[in-house]
């Protein structure tokens, strides 16, 4: 009887641990079953919160939506078709966000992770970061 209870407890634990995992796509295209609670959400390209990165050194405003050049020498890198200008040491990640390659990894859709975290996608397209 004890063995049977132990076996049932083990099966229940396995079912619980399996239910807590989700399939994620790794940067090399392979997949892995991971617990989403061990991952963090990637930084969104819509939250330009790392530093001020707007056209001509200021935040992007509706008045600047049709600008196409980045004339400020402190923000010379064109991003979002000219709607966003990046600092000289940044690059335009997926055409959506300014990313410093020394400190960030560019992910899908312009999302990014702090280095050394690795970018991952879940099945519904959400972008996450996993610490090594």
Instruction: Give the Cα separation of 81 and 98 in Å (integer).
Output: 12
User: Domain limits of the chain?
Assistant: 2-130
- The partner residues of 130 in beta bridges, in order of sequence, read 118
Looking up tokens 């991971």, which residue turns up? 34
pLDDT at residue 114, as a whole number = 95
pLDDT at residue 38, as a whole number = 92
**54 within 8 A of 83, measured Cβ to Cβ:** no
Instruction: Give the Cα separation of 66 and 80 in Å (integer).
Output: 11
Both structure tokens of 81? 């078709």
pLDDT at residue 24, as a whole number = 94
- The partner residues of 114 in beta bridges, in order of sequence, read 104
Both structure tokens of 19? 């239910």
Per-residue pLDDT of the chain (132 residues; tens, 9 = 90+): 454 444 444 444 544 445 589 999 988 999 999 999 999 999 998 775 544 344 444 454 444 444 557 888 888 888 887 788 889 999 999 999 999 999 999 999 999 999 999 999 998 889 999 998
């Amino acid at each position: 009887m004890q063995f049977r209870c132990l076996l049932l407890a083990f099966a229940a634990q396995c079912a619980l641990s399996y239910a807590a995992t989700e399939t994620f796509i790794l940067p090399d295209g392979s997949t892995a079953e991971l617990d989403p609670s061990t991952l963090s959400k990637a930084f969104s390209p819509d939250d330009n919160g790392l530093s001020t990165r707007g056209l001509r050194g200021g935040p992007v405003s509706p008045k600047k939506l049709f600008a196409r050049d980045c004339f400020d020498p402190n923000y010379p890198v064109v991003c979002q078709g000219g709607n966003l200008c990046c600092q000289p040491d940044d690059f335009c990640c997926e055409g959506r966000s300014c990313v410093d390659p020394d400190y960030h990894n560019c992910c899908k859709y312009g999302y990014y992770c702090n280095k050394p975290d690795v970018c991952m996608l879940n099945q519904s397209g959400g972008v996450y970061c996993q610490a090594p």
